[in-house]
Structure 1
Amino acid sequence: MTAERTLSVSVIALPDTGVATMFGVLDVMNSFALMGIGGTDAPPPFRAQIVGAAAGPLMGVSGVPVPVAESVARLDRTDIVIVPSIVLGPGGWKRGRYPEIVEWATRMHEQGALLCSACSGIFLLAETGLFDGRDVTVHYDYAPHLQAEYPAVRIHPERALMVAGSRDELITSGASTTWHDLVLYLTGRFAGASVAQEAARMFALQWHQDGLAPYMLFEGRKDHGDAVVAEAQEWLSANYPVATPVEQMVVRSGLAERTFKRRFTDATGVSPLAYVQRIRIEEAKRRLERSEESVEAIGWHVGYEDPAFFRRLFKRITGLTPAVYRRRYRVPLITTSA
């Protein structure tokens, strides 16, 4: 692949594909010539089309008909494969429903194509086996399902974009609008940074440079079946601000300290102290989003008397300082004129 020619982009449509990501990717990647992005002398960097199991209208999960331009059976070559967001039902992802598309994507990769997923599109691409032992990202709510279905894949839901493979040819983007990061990355890679910046300005696209940790909610695993740990979690949900929550949980459990900490970590996947910190920071995030309280007061309310320690801990967990988090994620007050 070279930047001197137009690259063919195949955006895969499935019955359970979300159309917002699909059409967003198409709009941007096909806009360069139409909107004059990158100048008019060079050929446009991409030509994107929707492909699927069969050409023709496909009714998507959103109830919107999707015009599939080409069937994969008739497409012998492409440069970039993109699987947009997939909506998982209550039963989760079921393998083996689209064998012809999985086989085609594998064959395109063998011929040199990039395989890209936006959000949950990785569920389909992971069936190729090409992502085993690779680092990927996915919507944080889908991460446990992906890990259960594909245990050989290394998942980083806090990351907005991951690039893997010997040719940097396996590319995954995380939750929801991180398709912006995917499209901007591909544009920068094949058309240059200045063109990517121009596209970002034109469409108000944004890099999620802070990752996705600020968006992620910590609820704590509760399906472990350990009654002692479950009781400690229930008590902690109402008593997390107390001065010594871990020590009090140990006493309430009636177990030896080492035994309780081991059982808690085995059951929830995190240590009791880390669990307390995550619960406290979640409450701090909500207060920063919805109240006028000072950062110091919020730290005190969730259990930290030392404001400096609270700020350091908040940044370590979310990637942002409390003040920056409030500016970015505060629920805006919408005013109307009289």
Structure 2
Amino acid sequence: MKHLSILVPDVQAGPNTLSCIVGAYHIFTEANKYRNQHNQPEVFSIELAGVTGQSSFVNGLLTIMPQVHVDTIHKTDLIIIPAIAAAFKEVEAGNAVLVDWILKQYKIGAEVASMCTGAYILASTGLLDKKSCSIHWNAAANFRTLFPKVNLKAEKLITDEEGIYTNGGGYSFLNLLIYLVEKYYDRQTAIYCSKIFQIDIDRQTQSDFVIFSGQKSHGDEVIRQAQEYIEENFAEKLSVEQLSKRFTVGRRNFDRRFIKATGNTPVEYQQRVKIESAKKALETSRKTINEVMYEVGYADVKAFREVFRKITGMSPLEYKSKYNKSMGNF
């Protein structure tokens, strides 16, 4: 039987930390139960592992008592890191012990999965350097600043690379758990768990949940001004040459500084601002797709649809149908 360690952080925890811990324990316990019912062996022995005898959550309203101290686990097969508070700067106190233990276990064969902002702890081990990683879209800018060596894929729901798994934000950790059940158990057990817990199986993206807000805490005042100019004039056709001249920066240098500061090229940034405006119009108005398209500065229907799908993972009509049912589609 394999061993599953669900970590219980003692500091930097947030409300979703508890949800992740309880959700992981519940789903894997149910997967074991399903195997038992079908005369198959359980896959995991499951333990909640921490660094103290008791950890508090939600301003002390709730507590969890880890079953074991991580130091007593000499070998585990899968480590699950729950979400932590999003206001992360560096690993604090007891979580440093968890970081060292995770790194040690990975080196001797364990796989590691982080949920949402649990990626902060995982990235602190160095194991995510030059690897793909997902996180809640609202934490992406801060994460990029702290861990520039990580290949952040905030649009992805799940990443899977070299025995390291990450997932997007909020309660999408449930999708990661179903993904792991299928990997470690089998497809049928995953389907069963998805039905019992009513979780969509095979969901791949969180793009349509993203609310774009340009990263402006980078310290480059010229680029910050350029961002604001783009946001105020997004419906206009702005070339990179126009922008670089307006802010008296050479084209190549402007491109380089813009990417370094925001994580997007100037063109990508303009597209994201346009599509964010289009999304809001599709969510809240009775405007047609074409009306919205023209308002945000597109004249070509095909180009608008392609960019919209690239950023949100769905067509403008699909998006309107999903988020604005009371308004109708036209």
TM-score bin (small chain): 0.7 to 0.9
Shift in CA distance, 226/155, structure 1 to aligned 2, threshold 3 Å:
closer
Alignment of 1:137 onto 2:134: yes
Letter matched to residue 75 of structure 2: R
Measure how far apart 1:152 and its partner are. 2.9
Question: What corresponds to 1:22 in structure 2?
Answer: 21
Amino acid in the other structure paired with 2:174: H
Closer, same or farther in 2 for the Cα pair 1:170/1:249, shift >3 Å? same
1:186 aligns with 2:185: no
Q: How far is 1:114 from its partner?
A: 1.4
What is the aligned-residue identity percentage?
24
Q: Name the aligned partner's letter for residue 302 of structure 1.
A: V
- CA deviation vs aligned residue, 1:2-29 (integer Å, no higher than 9, x gap): xxx4x32111011333211111111111
After TM superposition, give the deviation of residue 323 of structure 1 in Å. 1.6
The aligned counterpart of 2:238 is: 245
For 1:120-159, list aligned pairs within 5 A. 120-159=117-156
Letter aligned with residue 245 of structure 1: L
Extract unaligned runs of 5+ from structure 2: none
- 1:48-63 matches, within 5 Å, as 48-55=46-53, 57-61=54-58, 63=61
Which structure dedicates a bigger proportion of its chain to helix? Answer: 2
Report the Cα distance in structure 1 between the residues aligned to 2:224 and 2:294, rounded to whole angstroms: 26
1:13, 1:50 within 8 Å by CA — same for their partners in 2? yes
SS of 1:199's equivalent?
helix
Query: Would you say 1:316 and 2:310 are equivalent positions?
Result: yes
SS in 1 for 2:65: strand
**For the structure 1 residues 332 and 10, does the alpha-carbon distance in structure 2 shift closer, same or farther, using more than 3 Å as the test?**
farther
- Specify the code of the residue in structure 2 equivalent to 1:125: L
5+ long unaligned stretches in structure 1: 334-338
2:5 to 7, 10, 19: 10
Alpha-carbon distance change, 255 to 124 in structure 1, aligned in 2, over 3 angstroms: closer
For 2:168 and 2:243, how far apart are their aligned partners in 1?
Answer: 37
Corresponding residue SS for 1:8: strand
Give the deviation of 1:195 after TM superposition. Answer: 1.3
The structure number with the bigger radius of gyration is 1
Q: 1:292 aligns with which of 282, 286, 293?
A: 286
Letter in 2 for 1:193: R
How far 1:267 moved relative to its partner? 5.1
Q: TM-score, normalised by structure 1?
A: 0.82
Q: CA deviation at 1:110?
A: 3.4
Deviations 1:192-231 (A, max 9, x none): 1121111111111124634122222322233455555444
SS at the partner of 1:59?
strand
Normalised to the residue count of structure 2, the TM-score between the two structures is 0.84
Structure 1 residues 299-338: aligned runs within 5 Å: 299-330=293-324
